[in-house]
Structure 1
Amino acid sequence: MEHTGQNSPLGNHTTLVEFILIGFSDVPKLQGLLFGVFLIIYVFILTGNSLIITITKVDPSLKTPMYFFLGNLSFLEICYVSVTLPRVLADLCRQNRKISILACAVQMYFFLILSATECFILTAMAYDRYVAICNPLLYPVIMNSRLCIQLAAVCWTTSIIIHIVSTCVIFSSPFCERNKMNHFFCDVPPIVQLVCGDTSGIELMTYIIAALVVTIPFLLILASYVKIISTILKLPSATGRAKAFSTCSSHVMVVTLFFGSGIVVYLRPKSTHSSGMDKYFLFFYTILTPLFNPIIYCLKNKDVMVALGKFLQKWIVLGLITSKNSSHS
């Protein structure tokens, strides 16, 4: 570990230039198995979400605000896992698990941006469903393409601005000599544990940001669905109620998965926390929504199923024609 000695009012500490990610090295006999499992998961996430993005772009029947946001969400999921999983796969293949402070800061920054943006995109999707069900006659006017693009832009830019500040504050703090993190990527809690001196200011900032990017979006989603359910229950026909519920079911499942797993990971009682188990909880939290997002939308959404079927059929036919022409030439 390279460092330079330095004194400060907080006491003696060292200026670290790198951290060591312990990752899954505590289970050496399972390195090969974990690599295979994680690689399959990563390929499935990339493939599934790429298919969702493709069909929302090419299928005319999916040129609606709901599927515009779904395409954004799938792109977000690909970026989200690509911040952590490639590093995990690389670390499973090597002994040297060092990461520079700069690389660690960049990884944490992008992870925070993508997590916050997912909260905001899910909120925008809830607003879309609210307008569609509670104001159906005004839906085409309110949810026009300009508003959709503006909402998506606000989701991304807000996250980028908020987390520039938090990342700078955390990584401008002095770190102690301990540089080992019992984690597989740079996340806020394990990094804050390595900060020397009083971390109450950082923890307060973290809680405030969490309220802005998690609690407020969750409450807005909850309020949207209270109004949506109230409107649906007033519909005269059972068929109409079933159809209205079906347009929301996929989004509700993704929201439940994302926020539910987040609550289990971050809001468990401290008495149940251990650094060894936390990383496994967090690993499944980071892959659950990206993994199940395409599955949920393909199985629960009829329009996506039909569009996917047409897309795959087109490529299969194209492949057969290409192979037939190749065999004749």
Structure 2
Amino acid sequence: MNQTTVKEFVFLAFSSFHQFQIFLFIIIQLAYIVCLVENISVIILVRVKPSLHTPMYYFISTLSALELFVTSAIIPKLLANLIAADNTISFAGCFAQLFVSDSLGTTECFLLAVMAFDRDLAINNPLYYKVIMTQNTCFGLAALPWALGFITVLIPTIYTARLQFSGPNEINHFYCHLAPIQDLICSNQFTSKLITNSVAVFATFFPFILILGFYAHIIVAILKIKGTENKHKAFSTCSAHLIVVNLIYCAALFVYLGPKDGHYRKFFALLYTVVTPILNPLIYTFRNKEVKAAFSKLSAVHMGF
């Protein structure tokens, strides 16, 4: 039986920095706009340029779509709270945001593993790569992380939502993050945290182990390639993905395993939800000649050159 008595939660967000609320609103709003423009541009570019109709770019555009959803699940509510006197969110709305944001974060981890598998297959089995990576295969590999992400987070979300919340209702964060919500549970928190930690290990470390395995296989294959130029070309196709993996995992580790102090938690959460989605398209654009060439041609067409 649901013993919940709390009807709404209150975000503390950046209330201790009240004098900087407007400044934070402007900076975060600008960052959100940049994030939208960059990631939408990547999606459109991959869609309209035939030269980018390959599995690798299909997964890159999927990652950009995912980044859009992750940011949009959190930032609009944060912006509204920064300029509004009412910083509340309903109980159902809070757990809906929690479920969507955590599911998308989990999906991102599995998608990065799929992208590593794609690079591994391209380098170690170049002759069979196009045969194996058909349109249906790419669609299935892109859909799998979404299914795993949402199914994985469903159990801890439902379990936590059915626990007793009858005391404090102030969330020391700017969105419905599981850790500060669990601090508000009036009943025994042990089982909820045990389930959450078990799911977190599966959702983050399992994809990370897969990524390490794929790249270990890739490195072995690259070392066998004759000629420095060929080795560099093979590794350059993976370097952007490696940088993105490091960015996302480092930001996520600080959010979930970093200092429990509220301000540190919020700062690193901002990095994860705003800064990383801005940097990812830039990394893929500026480190990839095909993307830069396609973007230049598309820009030239629209500018009338």
**TM bucket normalised to smaller:** over 0.9
Q: Distance between the aligned counterparts of 2:264 and 2:152, measured in 1?
A: 29
Structure 1, unaligned runs of 5 or more: 1-7, 9-13, 319-329
Are 1:117 and 2:107 an aligned pair? yes
1:31 is matched with 21
**Contact 2:152–2:203, Cα closer than 8 Å, also in 1:** no
Percent identity, please: 38
Are 1:304 and 2:291 an aligned pair? yes
CA offsets 1:188-240 (integer angstroms, 9 cap, x no match): 00110000121111111112111221110000001100110111011001110
The SS at the match of 2:173 is coil
Q: Distance between the aligned counterparts of 1:49 and 1:67, measured in 2?
A: 13
The SS at the match of 1:96 is coil
**Contact 1:257–1:288, Cα closer than 8 Å, also in 2:** no
In the alignment, residue 306 of structure 1 is paired with which amino acid?
A
**Equivalent in 169, 174, 178 of residue 179 of structure 1:** 169
Question: Residues 309-320 of structure 1 correspond to what in structure 2 (within 5 A)?
Answer: 309-317=296-304
Q: Distance between the aligned counterparts of 2:264 and 2:58, measured in 1?
A: 37
Q: Deviation at 1:284?
A: 1.5
Q: What is the RMSD of the two structures over their aligned residues, measured on CA atoms? A: 1.6
In the alignment, residue 265 of structure 2 is paired with which amino acid?
D
In the alignment, residue 119 of structure 2 is paired with which amino acid?
R
**Contact 1:265–1:282, Cα closer than 8 Å, also in 2:** yes
**Equivalent in 42, 46, 62 of residue 52 of structure 1:** 42
Q: Deviation at 1:263?
A: 1.6
Question: Residues 1-329 of structure 1 correspond to what in structure 2 (within 5 A)?
Answer: 15-268=5-258, 272-317=259-304
Q: Deviation at 1:53?
A: 0.2
Deviates more, 1:167-176 or 1:39-48: 167-176
Q: Distance between the aligned counterparts of 1:200 and 1:177, measured in 2?
A: 18
Q: Distance between the aligned counterparts of 2:281 and 2:274, measured in 1?
A: 12
In the alignment, residue 232 of structure 2 is paired with which amino acid?
A
Rg comparison, structure with higher value: 1
**Contact 1:56–1:63, Cα closer than 8 Å, also in 2:** yes
Q: Distance between the aligned counterparts of 1:212 and 1:141, measured in 2?
A: 31
Instruction: Please list every run of at least 4 consecutive aligned residues from structure 1 whose deviation after the TM superposition is greater than 6 angstroms.
Output: none
Return the TM-score normalized by structure 1. 0.90
Q: Deviation at 1:105?
A: 0.7
Structure 2, unaligned runs of 5 or more: none
In the alignment, residue 291 of structure 2 is paired with which amino acid?
V
The number of equivalent residue pairs is: 305
Q: Deviation at 1:166?
A: 1.7
CA offsets 1:269-321 (integer angstroms, 9 cap, x no match): xxx43123211222212223211011101111111111111111111118xxx
Q: Distance between the aligned counterparts of 2:272 and 2:60, measured in 1?
A: 20
